[in-house]
C-alpha cells in the first residue's frame, strides 16, 4: 500500500445489526466534517462482510500486512482506507467498557498494520510500525447509564490502543444515549476541530 491520503477521515460505525444507536452521532460527525470541507467515508460495519481474525499471524510473517487465511471479505479494503486516512473515527455502543463485537472484528484484523518485531517505548514493549505514518484516532461511545468505572475502562482501552497504533492525536468520548442533542453536537464539533485535519 502506497502511503498517500485518499481520505481525510473514515468513520467506522460499530452499531449492532437491528440497532441504530450510533446513527445520530455518525450523521452529526458527517455534517461537521462537511462544514469544514473535509473528505470522508462512513462505513456501517454490520453491513459489511468482515470475518473474525483467526490469530494465525500470517499477516506478520507470510504475507506482510495482508491476511492470507481469511478470504473474500471486506476487511482488507477497509484496512487500506484506514491506513490511507488522516483520521479514523470509531463509533460504538459501550460494551462492558469496550467496543461492540462489530467494531472489535475490524480492530483485530488491523494487526497486520504493524510489524511482528518489538521496540521499547516508555519502558513498555510495542510492535514496530509497518508504515511511516498512522491516522489520528477519535473514539466515541454511547451508553444507557453513566458508569464511571466503565467509562474509565473505555478511556484506558483507547489509550492502550493508541500506544500500539501510533496515532499523532487521539481522543475518547462517552455520551449518554438520552443526552441533549445540542450538547452532543457542540461536543462533537469541538472533537473534530481538536483533530486538526488538513483540507
Q: What does the alpha-carbon distance between residue 180 and residue 141 come to, in Å, rounded to a whole number?
A: 15
The sign of the CA dihedral 185, 98, 172, 149 is positive
Domains of the chain: 7-194 (3.40.50.360)
SS3 18: coil
Q: Measured between alpha carbons, how far is 120 from 111 in angstroms, rounded to an integer?
A: 18
pLDDT at 7: 67
Element at 148 (helix H, strand E): helix 148-165
Q: What is the pLDDT along the chain (199 residues), one digit of tens a residue?
A: 444 445 699 999 999 998 887 999 999 999 999 998 999 999 999 999 999 999 999 998 899 889 988 888 999 999 999 999 999 999 999 999 999 999 999 999 999 999 988 999 889 999 999 999 999 999 999 999 989 999 999 999 999 999 999 999 999 999 999 999 999 999 999 999 999 887 6
Edge-first strand order for the sheet with 7-13 is 40-44, 7-13, 85-93, 136-143, 170-176
The candidate with the shortest Cα–Cα distance to 87, out of 119, 39, 122, is 39
Distance, CA of 166 to CA of 84 (rounded, Å): 14
The Cα–Cα gap between 80 and 101 comes to: 21
Amino acid at each position: 500500500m502506497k502511503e498517500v491520503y485518499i481520505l481525510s477521515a473514515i468513520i467506522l460505525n460499530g452499531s449492532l445489526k437491528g440497532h441504530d444507536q450510533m446513527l445520530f452521532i455518525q450523521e452529526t460527525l458527517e455534517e461537521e466534517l462537511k462544514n469544514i470541507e473535509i473528505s470522508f467515508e462512513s462505513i456501517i460495519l454490520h453491513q459489511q462482510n468482515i470475518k473474525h481474525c483467526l490469530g494465525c499471524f500470517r499477516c506478520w510473517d507470510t504475507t506482510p500486512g495482508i491476511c492470507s487465511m481469511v478470504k473474500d471479505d471486506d476487511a482488507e479494503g477497509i484496512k487500506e482506507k484506514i491506513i490511507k486516512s488522516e483520521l479514523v473515527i470509531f463509533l460504538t455502543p459501550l460494551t462492558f467498557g469496550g467496543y461492540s463485537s462489530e467494531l472489535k472484528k475490524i480492530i483485530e484484523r488491523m494487526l497486520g498494520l504493524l510489524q511482528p518485531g518489538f521496540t521499547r517505548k516508555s519502558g513498555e514493549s510495542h510492535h514496530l510500525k509497518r508504515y511511516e505514518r498512522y491516522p489520528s484516532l477519535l473514539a466515541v461511545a454511547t451508553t444507557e447509564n453513566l458508569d464511571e468505572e466503565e467509562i474509565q475502562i473505555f478511556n484506558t482501552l483507547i489509550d492502550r490502543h493508541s500506544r500500539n497504533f501510533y496515532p499523532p492525536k487521539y481522543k475518547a468520548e462517552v455520551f449518554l444515549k438520552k443526552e441533549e442533542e445540542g450538547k452532543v453536537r457542540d461536543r462533537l464539533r469541538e472533537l473534530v476541530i481538536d483533530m486538526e485535519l488538513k483540507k
